[in-house]
Amino acid sequence: MKVTEHIEKAKGQTLLSLEILPPLKGQDMKDIITNLNPLMEYNPAFVDVTYHREETILEEVENGMFRKRTVRKRPSTIAISTAIQHKYNVDSVPHLLAGGFTKEETENALIEMDFLGINSVLALRGDAAPGEKYFTADKEGHAYADGIVSQIKDLNDGKYLDSNIVNPHSTNFCVGVAGYPEKHFESPNYKEDLEFLKAKVDAGADYIVTQMFFDNQKYFKFVEDCRAIGIEIPIIPGLKPLSTKRQLRLLPHMFSLDLPCDLVREVHKCKDNKAVRQLGVEWLTQQSKELKEAGVPSLHYYTMGKSDNIQKIVKELF
Ligand code: FAD
């Protein structure tokens, strides 16, 4: 079932959904399974699998010389999505990036997903490649996420890049896009960021998943502001428990968000990261309860590969 079909079927009940990372190259699926197994008893409606683009590394060769090599440290987003779908009989949602993809490669990835029985995809622009300062689109690719959304919707209408294909098959994808309650870091202002979100919706996006936030008021205001400019599709809150002291600096820097004063004060009182992890669970449990009471479509947890803290939260909620 598509993400939007799950939401419709739930008739206002809040669903559970998860996001996982593909394993690092050289690892098997053991860790993913160990972390997903305990969460599957709470019947997540869908599981997202992130996409990790290529990066350039310097490799030492002979005589102290170095050469550049392009690697992908977490390949196999589509394969992991399919494996999970088959193992757990749960719908999976691979993430698909504009960054590093030509339109032809995007089309081929979508054809592969369609053949594998995947019918929801999260369409993203992606960040600058590691080592680059600013995002640069492939010259044969999309500069923004709205371009991928349009390409997916074209495929749903049987429109391929090659217009000579005879009797083309129409795919049937449901498309999610990212939304930022605290503004995307590159946007000059919140209002313009919302307008570009609206452009993704006008291109055919079916639902939105938000960047993480630690203050529910940010999400409630974002939803209100989206509705005010005519964005009617479901807006799923993306949630992550705080787990280390270092994240007080890291999360605002990486995701351009504010951490509430009360939360920061409590983190400073924690004597070690074990205590921070417990605080993160308590904070996100409260956040989740309030969001569920407000009737959000799904509570979408970023597991980041470890699920002990998410298990504790989900146990209280579902
Ligand atoms: P866009 O919607 O294209 O927006 C990017 C910026 O450009 C914004 O500032 C926007 O306001 C602006 N903009 C948009 N359209 C236009 C336009 N037409 N003209 C001018 N400006 C425009 N990253 C990964 O690498 N892999 C993942 O799996 C992944 N999953 C994610 C999941 C979620 C739920 C979220 C919230 C983020 C995820 N990201 C992931 C991070 C994401 O790739 C970055 O935040 C990226 O910088 C922006 O992606 P986007 O799709 O929101 O871009």
Question: What tens digit of pLDDT does each residue of 242-261 get?
Answer: 999 999 999 999 999 999 99
Domain annotation covers residue 247 = no
Cα of 218 to ligand 1 centre, how many Å?
A: 18
Evaluate whether 179 touches 211 at the Cβ level (below 8 Å).
yes
51 vs 77: CA distance, rounded Å = 6
- The percent of residues above 90 in pLDDT, for the chain, comes to 92
Domain annotation covers residue 116 = yes
Domain annotation covers residue 79 = yes
- Whichever domain contains 230, its CATH number is 3.20.20.220
Q: Is 185 in the pocket of ligand 1 (CB under 6 A)?
A: no
Question: pLDDT by residue (tens digit) across 66-96?
Answer: 888 888 899 999 999 999 999 999 999 999 9
Asked whether the predicted pLDDT for residue 132 surpasses 90, the reply is no
Q: Is 145 in the pocket of ligand 1 (CB under 6 A)?
A: yes
Question: pLDDT by residue (tens digit) across 137-168?
Answer: 999 999 999 999 999 999 999 999 999 999 99
The pLDDT assigned to 62 comes to 84
112 vs 169: CA distance, rounded Å = 13
Cα of 124 to ligand 1 centre, how many Å?
A: 5
Cα of 94 to ligand 1 centre, how many Å?
A: 15
Domain annotation covers residue 136 = yes
* 265 three-state secondary structure: helix
Structure token pair of residue 89: 């009989």
Q: Which of 19, 122, 124, 185 to mutate to test the pocket of ligand 1 (most atoms within 8 A of CB)?
A: 124
* 298 three-state secondary structure: strand
Beta bridge pairs of residue 124: 97
Domain annotation covers residue 60 = yes
The pLDDT assigned to 194 comes to 98
The pLDDT assigned to 271 comes to 97
Closest by CA to 305, choosing from 47, 75, 22, is 22
| Bridging pattern class, strands 91-97 and 207-210 | unpaired
Q: Which of 196, 222, 236 to mutate to test the pocket of ligand 1 (most atoms within 8 A of CB)?
A: 196
The pLDDT assigned to 60 comes to 87
- For residue 310, the Cα-to-chain-centroid distance in whole angstroms is 16
107 vs 84: CA distance, rounded Å = 22
Structure token pair of residue 37: 């197994």
What's phi and psi for 36, nearest 5 deg? -80, -35
Cα–Cα distances in angstroms (integers) from residue 243 to residues 2, 126, 240, 299, 311, in the given order: 32, 25, 9, 18, 14
Atom from ligand 1 closest to the CA of residue 124: 51
Asked whether the predicted pLDDT for residue 133 surpasses 90, the reply is no
Between 60 and 242, the higher pLDDT residue: 242
Question: pLDDT by residue (tens digit) across 118-127?
Answer: 999 999 999 9
**What residue owns the CA closest to ligand 1's atom 2?**
145
Q: Is 184 in the pocket of ligand 1 (CB under 6 A)?
A: yes
Q: Is 81 in the pocket of ligand 1 (CB under 6 A)?
A: no
Q: Which of 48, 96, 97, 125 to mutate to test the pocket of ligand 1 (most atoms within 8 A of CB)?
A: 125
Evaluate whether 26 touches 20 at the Cβ level (below 8 Å).
no
Number of domains in the chain: 1
SS3 sequence, 96-160? EECCCCCHHHHHHHHHHHHHCCCCEEEEECCCCCCCCCCCCCCCCCCCCHHHHHHHHHHHHCCCC
Closest by CA to 317, choosing from 278, 285, 280, 270, is 285
Site of tokens 């860790």: 31
Domain annotation covers residue 268 = no
Q: Is 238 in the pocket of ligand 1 (CB under 6 A)?
A: yes
Closest by CA to 51, choosing from 29, 10, 81, 87, is 81
Q: Is 308 in the pocket of ligand 1 (CB under 6 A)?
A: no
CB neighbour burial string for 144-183, b if at least 16 within 10 angstroms, e if fewer: bbbbbbbbbbbbbeeebeeeeeeeeeebebbbbbbbbbbb
Question: pLDDT by residue (tens digit) across 164-183?
Answer: 999 999 999 999 999 999 99
Q: What pLDDT band is residue 57 in, cutting at 50, 70 and 90?
A: confident
Atom from ligand 1 closest to the CA of residue 186: 9
Domain annotation covers residue 181 = yes
Q: Is 126 in the pocket of ligand 1 (CB under 6 A)?
A: yes
Q: Which of 144, 198, 229 to mutate to test the pocket of ligand 1 (most atoms within 8 A of CB)?
A: 144
Cα–Cα distances in angstroms (integers) from residue 281 to residues 19, 39, 43, 275, 306, in the given order: 17, 15, 20, 10, 13
End-to-end CA distance of the chain: 21
Site of tokens 């202002």: 189
254 DSSP assignment: H
CB neighbour burial string for 41-55, b if at least 16 within 10 angstroms, e if fewer: eeebbbbbbbbbbee
300 DSSP assignment: E
Domain annotation covers residue 246 = no
The pLDDT assigned to 261 comes to 98
Which domain range does residue 187 map to? Answer: 3-236
Q: Is 49 in the pocket of ligand 1 (CB under 6 A)?
A: no
35 vs 266: CA distance, rounded Å = 28
Site of tokens 């600058």: 128
Q: Is 186 in the pocket of ligand 1 (CB under 6 A)?
A: yes
